[in-house]
Structure 1
Amino acid sequence: MDTPTPGQPVRGSQTGRPIMALLDLLGRRWSLRVLWELHQTPANFRELQSRCEGVSPSVLNTRLGELRDAQLLENGERGYQLSRLGIELVEQFLPLTLWADNWAAQLPPWSEN
């Protein structure tokens, strides 16, 4: 499967609007988790796989390639790290994280298990 690209047909949009391309990319299994983990600290492949418990090496490798192609991450001295664009994207999610925490607090109790 190719990396979703603005201007090209993607899931949910034949026109490939930029927001639809982004949502297609982020909606792929493990994409958001990889970005979130790298937001915490850079990591090499094995460390990132360990932090994303349950991801297979082939899926992780595919996601890393797609996120690199999308210019959201890059290879650095300490392994994979968010690019400038990746940092900006994760920063846009921080208010949504606060909203989600507030939302969760208003729902019946739940378990993280």
Structure 2
Amino acid sequence: MTSKTPRPGSPVRGSRSGKAIMALFDLLGRSWALGIVWQLSAGPMTFRLLQERCESVSPTVLNRRLRELRESNMIERGENGYQLTPTGQELFVLLEPFGDWAVKWGEALPEQGDA
């Protein structure tokens, strides 16, 4: 199964017109896409190291996401492996506050079975 890399202006999940925000959400909503961006925020990584950091991702899925993120100008392949582009770094700056928020959110949730 081949999936097209989401692009603004082309139909994507949730938008027949391909609004830019919906294309971004389609791309980042794909399995492991956000995890890859998050991991690469620490610096360049080889395919093998990235696969190790993403734990259970299969090589097929990792290859597909890397291709899509490269086609979307979020990551590039540098001398030391895959790395965020300036666009990817800008995206991470916007995403990073969600990490702290998620910790607070998780701590505020009732324990399983308390509901």
TM-score range, shorter chain: over 0.9
Three-state SS of the structure 1 residue aligned to 2:98 is helix
TM normalised by structure 2 equals 0.91
Distance 1:70 1:6 in 2: 10
Amino acid at match of 1:102: K
2:39 aligns with 37
* 1:69 paired residue number: 71
Percent identity for Structure 1 against Structure 2? 53
| SS across alignment from 1:47 | helix
Q: CA deviation at 1:39?
A: 0.6
- Runs of 4+ with >6 A deviation: none
Structure 2: distance between partners of 1:45 and 1:95: 26
TM-score by length of structure 1 reads 0.92
Inter-partner Cα distance in structure 1 for 2:45 and 2:79: 10
Superposed displacement of residue 109, structure 1 = 4.2
Deviation at 1:96, TM superposition (A): 2.0
Aligned residues: 110
Helix, strand or coil at the partner of 1:81: strand
